């Protein structure tokens, strides 16, 4: 039974009639890491792993939701004081509240949802959940009057105000704006975006999840952000988006060695994103792959957010002739994203599983991904 049938069956069991199906996607980021808070570019795409929900207005002021994956039920009102206790339900409650705060309409509804976005692999399952419900409630109660950017911001505000996560906009943006066979270059300063074709014929895009997460005591993200801000101030620019390597090298004697390396990565990463855009337009996947390897090297050696396990997976990819490979996400664990020629795929996966298991005592998880559409209504 596929996810659609499972949801539909459960919805009928719990609520009687049928509702409308909606879905939104998890995401990958091909290149452009730690650039969002430096005013730079990110380059995400929605993937073929989704959160799907069947929803129907119920004529009351109560929301009744069942999560198939967690096998849990929540019921709550739509006022601020009605927040549910379950953490998963707070994502849905937060979306309702953020729409209402913006002057939109939300009334009581019944919903059943499930997903196949792997949890903990850095594919933004929470953004997919928020975007799915934001898109659905815009459709059902607001005649799709809320624009797509605002739907992404509703998801982001939900994280900030109801889930305690101070995230950027990329995950929600990718989940809402995703388009089959296209990646999106998002300018994190102006919020302008552009679609680029992604047809890696003869290649697969595969995530290798180390299933490792190193907890670090000294808030490494905040430290790196502070490094970038110090260098930007010294160079007289608002963010490192406006800095060049020439400017950085001219001021090298006034900057600590650590801050220099952090800024060097961010400035070089900005250019790598632009190089990948040009390469995709030209259908040049060898250059795309080369820039992915360069990003991994920079994240490992200059930004220092990799870890032994991810460097090991990157080395295996290189030895197996994989076109491109890099750490994906914030770092210190999680996945590598790999662009692999079809004929090398089986050998690479077998090698990665066997060698990683031999060294670390468990196999990595493998997720093939296809670049797909974002938030949408689903036909039954």
Would you name the residues annotated as active-site residues? 171
Can you name the residues that pair with 165 across neighbouring β-strands?
none
**Total Cβ atoms within 10 A of residue 60:** 12
Q: Could you identify the residue written with the tokens 């997976």?
A: 313
Can you name the residues that pair with 377 across neighbouring β-strands?
22
Measured CA to CA, the distance from residue 139 to residue 119 in angstroms comes to 27
Can you name the residues that pair with 327 across neighbouring β-strands?
336
Query: Are the C-beta atoms of residues 70 and 88 closer than 8 Å to each other?
Result: yes
Angle between helical axes of 308-319 and 342-360 (0-180°, round to 10): 140
The torsion angles phi and psi of 194, rounded to 5 degrees, stand at -145, 140
Its sign, for the CA torsion 261, 172, 278, 200, is positive
The torsion angles phi and psi of 341, rounded to 5 degrees, stand at -65, 140
Angle between helical axes of 148-162 and 170-177 (0-180°, round to 10): 140
**Secondary structure class of 266 (helix, strand, coil):** helix
What is the per-residue DSSP string for 216-231?
-TT-HHHHHHHHHHHH
Locate 109 and state its tokens: 């509804």
Measured CA to CA, the distance from residue 60 to residue 177 in angstroms comes to 31
Measured CA to CA, the distance from residue 14 to residue 292 in angstroms comes to 47
Measured CA to CA, the distance from residue 42 to residue 375 in angstroms comes to 19
**Total Cβ atoms within 10 A of residue 118:** 16
Letter string b/e over residues 222-239, b meaning 16 or more CB atoms within 10 A of that residue's CB? eebeebbeebbebbeeeb
């Amino acid at each position: 039974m596929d996810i659609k049938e499972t949801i539909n069956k459960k919805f009928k069991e719990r609520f009687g009639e049928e509702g409308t199906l909606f879905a939104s996607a998890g995401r990958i980021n091909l290149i452009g890491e730690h650039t969002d808070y430096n005013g730079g570019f990110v380059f995400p795409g929605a993937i073929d792993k989704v959160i799907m929900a069947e929803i129907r207005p119920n004529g009351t002021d109560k929301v009744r939701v069942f999560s198939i994956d967690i096998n849990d039920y929540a019921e709550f009102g739509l006022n601020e004081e009605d927040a549910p206790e379950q953490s998963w339900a707070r994502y849905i409650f937060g979306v309702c509240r953020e729409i209402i705060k913006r002057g939109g309409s939300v009334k009581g509804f019944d919903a059943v949802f499930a997903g196949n976005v792997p949890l903990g692999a850095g594919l933004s399952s929470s953004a997919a959940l928020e975007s799915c419900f934001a898109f659905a409630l815009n459709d059902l109660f607001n005649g799709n009057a809320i624009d797509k950017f605002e739907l992404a911001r509703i998801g982001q505000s939900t994280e900030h105000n109801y889930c305690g996560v101070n995230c950027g906009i990329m995950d929600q943006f990718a989940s809402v704006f995703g388009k089959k066979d296209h990646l999106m270059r998002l300018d994190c300063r102006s919020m302008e975006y552009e679609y680029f074709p992604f047809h890696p014929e003869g290649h697969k895009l595969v995530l290798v999840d180390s299933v490792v997460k190193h907890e670090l005591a000294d808030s490494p993200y905040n430290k790196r952000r502070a490094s970038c801000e110090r260098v930007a101030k010294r160079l007289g620019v608002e963010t490192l988006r406006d800095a060049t390597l020439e400017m950085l090298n001219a001021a090298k004697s006034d900057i600590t060695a650590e801050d220099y390396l952090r800024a060097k990565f961010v400035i070089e990463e900005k250019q790598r994103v632009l190089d990948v855009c040009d390469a995709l337009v030209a259908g040049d996947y060898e250059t795309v792959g080369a820039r992915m390897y360069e990003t991994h090297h920079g994240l490992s050696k200059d930004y220092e957010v990799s870890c032994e396990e991810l460097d090991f997976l990157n080395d295996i990819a290189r030895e197996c002739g994989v076109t491109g490979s890099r750490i994906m996400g914030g770092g210190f664990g999680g996945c590598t994203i790999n662009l692999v020629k079809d004929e090398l795929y089986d050998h690479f996966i077998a090698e990665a599983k066997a060698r990683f298991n031999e060294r670390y005592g468990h196999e990595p998880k493998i997720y093939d991904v296809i670049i797909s559409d974002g938030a949408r209504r689903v036909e039954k």
